[in-house]
Amino acid sequence: MSTSERFIALTLAWAVAGAALAGEASPERTPAHKTSLESAPAHKTSLDQAPAHKTSLESAPAHKTSLDQAPAHKTSLESAPAHWLERMNRALTTRNYDGTFSHWHGGRVEMLRIIHRVQDGTVSERLASLDGSGREFIRAGPSLTCYLPDKRTVLVEQRPPQESLVGFPAVNDQTASFYDIREVNRTRLNRRNTHVITVSPKDEYRYGYRLWIDDSTAMPLKTQLCDRRGHVIEQIVFASLTLPAHIPDSAFKSDVSTAGFQWLRNESGPPAPTAATLAWNAMRLPPGFRMAARSAQTLPGSADPVDHLVFTDGLASVSVFVEAQRREQADQPAVPESAALGSSSAFSTVIDGHKITAVGEVPPDTVRFIASQLKAEEPPAVSSRRH
């Protein structure tokens, strides 16, 4: 990229950030000159009120946690690239943070804000689009709420309380055999020391990552999702990030006005197991993938039970949802369908009168392969368990 292109790119990024954060469309008003290290108290919670770009990691004393206070010396294991992935995963799932980032995919840039809190073992998370869609995703313990203003719909899904985000999936030796994990550089990014870790897939069934991981906090300040050839297909870059010790409950309340919205819930809980329930398994899987979880559940807005199977290689995961075809659908020809959601893929087909849908952050061929390999077997002993 030439110097002028880099300038334009930076201008673009700042223009987007400025418009999103300042609520103005003018590209001239960029927030770059507004950086103030101490001006943003951590308890600023409203998306409209919180000038996330006025904060800094250094100005937030709350981020002085055990990760920062770790001994300066590092063993060879601790400095291994895979260890940085583990540290990053741990930081993302166990720390409190509040950040604004740009999300680039398919030629589009959008600013989002993420607030994450772990308090008394309960994970709360809020992810909101700061640009046009106004969509929000809020997790409060086992409750997942998705606000879709463009569809005037709110989805509310209750997950089993024992289900935890922490530590799943996990990088292990098997994972390492399907990815090449390296530290390729140590560089400064936004005045922070970062380790540049590349996770390169060894085949076409999965994507890779290039990660700029903050040396002191292990937070990924920049993330690129890459195909096997290393081409960037999705990128996330933090424009601001704080790690406050305390984030109030009000930070996890949606700004979306839901008057007149349709609310779809699944609060009835997982369906009771029945002897007639079929057990679905994959006859074959891409190399390295294994079934990691299986559950039966109902989804918001549907009374029909759905089998949810999860396959993972330790980094990438694919969910397969199996539901009996409704009577009105049974007469329709089974036409496989593909869809894309960012870099994630979805594929749906019909097998033995059941609609099979695979979703995952993997290439389209992978979800298609896994979905087409599903087959009903003998009923399981239990209907909900983890492997």
Partner 1 sequence: MNEELDSQLSAMFDDELAPGECELLARRLSRDEQLKARWGRYAVIGAAIRSERGVRLNAALAGRVSAVILAEPALAAAHGAHRAAVRWWQPLAGAAVAVGVALVSVLWLRAQVPFAGAPRNAHLTATASVPAAAVVAAAAAGAPDSYVVPRAPAVRAMVPSTELANYVVAHSVFSSPVARRNLLSAFMTSESGTAAEEPPDEPQGNVH
Footprint (CB under 8 A) of partner 1, residues 39-58 = 53, 56-58
Q: Which residues contact 236 (CB under 8 A, 6 or more apart)?
A: 101, 102, 103, 104, 220, 222, 223
For partner 1, the closer of residues 108 and 327 by Cβ is: 108
> Which among 346, 355, 360 has a CA at the least distance from the CA of 374?
355
Q: Is the dihedral of CA 60, 126, 165, 368 positive or negative?
A: negative
What is the CB neighbour count within 10 angstroms for residue 82? Answer: 19
- Binding residues for partner 1, rule CB under 8 A, total 113
One DSSP character per residue, 14-25 reads HHHHHHHHHS--
In angstroms, the CA 102 to CA 237 distance is: 5
CB of 342 to partner 1, least distance (A): 2
**Binder of partner 1 out of 45, 117, 179, 234 (CB under 8 A):** 234
Kindly state whether residue 24 participates in binding partner 1, applying the rule CB under 8 A. no
Q: In which order are the strands placed within the sheet that holds 354-360?
A: 337-341, 344-351, 354-360, 317-324, 305-312, 290-298, 385-386
285 binds partner 1 (CB under 8 A): no
Binding-site member from 343, 349, 366, 383 for partner 1 (CB under 8 A): 343
211-238 burial, b at 16+ Cβ within 10 Å, e below that, comes to: bbbbebbbbbbbbbbbeeeeeebbbbbb
Instruction: Specify the amino acid at residue 342.
Output: G
Nearer to partner 1, 76 or 387 (CB): 387
Which of the stretches 69-77, 268-276, 278-286, 341-349 binds partner 1 when contact is defined by CB under 8 A?
Answer: 341-349
Q: Could you tell me the smallest distance in angstroms from the CB atom of residue 73 to partner 1?
A: 26
**Least distance to partner 1, CB of residue 13, Å:** 4
* Residues 160-219, interacting with partner 1 (CB under 8 A): 163, 165, 168-169, 189-192, 209, 211
CB of 340 to partner 1, least distance (A): 6
- Outline where 200-288 has alpha helix (H): none
Count of CB atoms situated within 10 Å of the CB of 40: 21
Among 44, 63, 67, 136, binds partner 1 (CB under 8 A): 136
Task: Please identify which residue in 59, 65, 216, 277 interacts with partner 1, judged by CB under 8 A.
Answer: 59
Q: Site for partner 1 (CB under 8 A): which residue of 42, 50, 315, 356?
A: 315
Q: CB of residue 5 vs partner 1: minimum separation in angstroms?
A: 6
Q: How far is the CB of 356 from partner 1 (least distance, A)?
A: 11
Handedness of CA 158, 162, 165, 169 (dihedral sign): negative
* CB of 15 or CB of 181, closer to partner 1: 15
- Least CB distance to partner 1 at residue 80 (A): 18
Question: Which CB atom, from 137 or from 373, has the smaller least distance to partner 1?
Answer: 137
% helix, strand, coil for the chain, step of 5: 20, 40, 45
Judged by CB under 8 A, the residue of 2, 76, 162, 250 near partner 1 is: 2
Q: Residue 64 interacts with partner 1 (CB under 8 A)?
A: no
| Assigned token pair, 147 | 């606000």
Among 47, 67, 251, 293, binds partner 1 (CB under 8 A): 293
Q: Does 261 bind partner 1 (CB under 8 A)?
A: no
Which of 40, 42, 50, 112 is close enough to bind partner 1 by CB under 8 A? Answer: 112
φ/ψ of 240, rounded to 5, equals -150, 150
Q: Is residue 4 a contact point for partner 1 (CB under 8 A)?
A: yes
* CB-based contacts of 167, cutoff 8 Å, min separation 6: 89, 93
Amino acid of residue 18: G
- Complex with partner 1: residue 168 or 277, whichever CB lies closer: 168
Contact 97, 243 (CB under 8 A): yes
- If the CB atoms of residues 76 and 337 are measured against partner 1, the closer one turns out to be 337
65-104 binders of partner 1 (CB under 8 A): 88-89, 92-93, 101-104
With CB under 8 A as the contact rule, the residue among 346, 356, 371, 374 that binds partner 1 is: 346
* CA gap 63, 244 in Å, rounded: 6
For residue 60, give the nearest of 249, 252, 245 by alpha carbon: 245
